[in-house]
Structure 1
Amino acid sequence: MWRIRRPQCPGILRYAHVVQSQQGHPIVYHPDFKISPLKLGHRFPMPKDHLVYVRLKELGYANATFTPRCPDSETLSLVHSRSYVDSFIAGTISAEKMRRIGLPWSEELLKRTLIGVGSAVLAARLALQYGVAAMCNGGTHHAHADHGSGWCIFNDLAVAARAAQRDAGVKKVLFVDLDVHQGDGTAAIFWNDPSVFTLSVHCDAQSFPAPLHKSSEDVALPAGTSDREYMQVLEEVVPRVLEQFQPELVLYNAGVDVHKDDALGKMSLTDEGILRRDKFVFSACANACVPVACAIGGGYQEDHTRIVERHVLLHRAAREALPALSQVALFRKAQRNSTN
């Protein structure tokens, strides 16, 4: 049976709690998440990002809120082609490419997209500083280097990975993508890159994306996978990949479209199963002495209230894991200082 234990970092000290752990886990949110450029009733539930933060405030979880900035073109171009970045920002992107994305271009969509990527970049930076950080948005893993797809325009966590490598000297990044759909864009972007490992655990009965792109490791589970069956897979795969790859940062896409009541997912996890999943990912990262930044990922249902409650489970798990992961961050910082 897994549990969070004191991180097994060589020579780790018994660090005192940081002040941040008393306030709660770092949350990334921007008021522009209130912007919803889509027509009411659109299947892409963009309003949920703001509603997640509202719910976190109601629960008293939002005491350590950080506000992101929009990334510049150079940062976006660490992952995406400059022509694609420039055309989307200028609004000159082709109608064909916007149809592939599945959203209409607008100034509001541009603003929402840029701050969403900035949220991921900040979350990665905060995770390195505090051990864990959770976004109120994100998980746009269907965006490729030169085009968007499946309501994803720029690949937020991919940009965050490259920014962390550029700005914080992070050498190896692990993607743990547990959305019900394969992270095809992320897999394609980092294919044959030894500094990045992409792990995607998804449902093999999904018709999207098509075709799939080979991740560093793909685990395709059948429709109807239960809590118990899902956890059996995670408990084998995630610790093994952490041990073998030894990343310095984990980027976690915590999609709740694995839920049994999700409108687009075809798996059978319950609320309890999703919470157990999220707690396990954090415990595995703490035990491997790796900080983790997370996006809320997919979740689709007409009743946004239900989706929001499922996304809040990630924040609940992050809040509980903060004491252990804060030790990870302090050890990693001491380790960096000793080598400088």
Structure 2
Amino acid sequence: MLKIAWSDIYSHPLPVKHRFPMIKYELLPEQLLYEGTITSANLFTPGKTDEEVILNAHDIVYWEKLKNLSLTRSEIRRTGFPLSKQLVDREVTIVQGTVQCALYALEYGIAMNIAGGTHHAFSDRGEGFCLLNDIAVAAHYLLNNLLARQILVVDLDVHQGNGTAEIFRNDHRVFTFSMHGANNYPLHKEYSDLDIALPDGTLDSFYLNTLEVNLQNLLEKIQPDFIFFQSGVDVLSTDKLGRLGLSIGGCRDRDRLVIQSAKDLNIPLVASMGGGYSEDIKVIIEAHANTYRLAQEIYF
């Protein structure tokens, strides 16, 4: 069964100016339920993350400041959100969703988080609307509990997974692969184990060929026994922040490449949704919904 982490806290409480892109966290499960791709049995509400689990990926000084709402003004400004207890609770819930998804993926082959993909959170700071790095926390959880030995992070959001790269830069057990827009945020890129920086306007054919060649090479070379997939849909040509040129069909084919490869090799996979900022909310929902449709088609 496809298990999907979702909580109503995912879209609340956020500042008014951020409500539009965040409404997808309400609309996406509604769409999937309406069209019959999933039922309520597929959804689960994440529990609470233990502090020690968070601290496997994040610095204790940063976590204490975050938990006690004592970040400096400049630190808060860097995150992009006004700091509040509710916002921290939201991030903790998202992190736990990905941790629980990792356990479900070991059981069912794949699991998905309606939110997550908070790849701009560093070990010691938040950036780019990310306070805690759900992928990093979940990867450490698997490794520390001997549930995985070699993890591959496939980050296909249009923005480089800079926080994830920093957290795992000295950890050979996690290979970070980021394929992103060369001229997009962040201005200063970290060094992933493999970075592919794409020019503005990159279209479906070049994108998909580049991904296929590099993904297959990595799967053969690294031989991971777990994959975290950051499946942001801000690669679309319609995205306000993306600057790439993918179509809805190209984005779906991207997801098929990753998900089918994991299935063919019997590698458990967790997908977190990442970004998506098209003007038309229907485009965002359709692109994200395709990821879930493919998971059901390929696995179940």
TM-score, with length taken from structure 2? 0.95
In the alignment, what sits opposite 1:167? Answer: 145
In the alignment, what sits opposite 1:35? Answer: 12
C-alpha distance in 2 between matches for 1:59 and 1:70: 30
C-alpha distance in 1 between matches for 2:114 and 2:25: 5
Amino acid aligned to 2:94: G
In the alignment, what sits opposite 1:195? Answer: 173
**Secondary structure of 1:42's aligned partner:** helix
**Secondary structure of 1:267's aligned partner:** coil
Q: 1:219 aligns with which of 185, 196, 213?
A: 196
Contact 1:43 1:300 in 2 (8 A): no
- 5+ residue gaps, structure 1: 1-19, 324-340
Deviations 1:250-289 (A, max 9, x none): 0000010000000000111111001111011111112222
C-alpha distance in 2 between matches for 1:309 and 1:168: 37
Quote how far apart the aligned CAs of 1:67 are.
Answer: 1.9
Equivalences for residues 1-340 of structure 1 within 5 A: 20=1, 25-39=2-16, 41-42=17-18, 45-63=21-39, 64-206=42-184, 208-323=185-300
Contact 1:178 1:254 in 2 (8 A): yes
Contact 1:36 1:47 in 2 (8 A): no
Amino acid aligned to 1:172: Q
C-alpha distance in 2 between matches for 1:248 and 1:313: 25
C-alpha distance in 2 between matches for 1:43 and 1:67: 21
Amino acid aligned to 2:120: H
Q: 1:302 to 1:116 in 2, by over 3 A?
A: same
**Secondary structure of 1:147's aligned partner:** coil
Quote how far apart the aligned CAs of 1:219 are.
Answer: 0.8
What is the number of residues matched between the two proteins? 298
Deviations 1:231-258 (A, max 9, x none): 1101100011011101111000001000
**Secondary structure of 1:45's aligned partner:** helix
Contact 1:155 1:185 in 2 (8 A): yes
Contact 1:144 1:155 in 2 (8 A): yes
C-alpha distance in 2 between matches for 1:169 and 1:98: 35
Quote how far apart the aligned CAs of 1:301 are.
Answer: 2.8
Contact 1:36 1:46 in 2 (8 A): no
C-alpha distance in 2 between matches for 1:151 and 1:173: 25
Contact 2:11 2:19 in 1 (8 A): no
Amino acid aligned to 1:224: G
In the alignment, what sits opposite 1:14? Answer: none
Contact 2:154 2:230 in 1 (8 A): yes
- 5+ residue gaps, structure 2: none
Deviations 1:138-158 (A, max 9, x none): 111011000000111101111
Deviations 1:115-158 (A, max 9, x none): 11111111111111100011111111011000000111101111
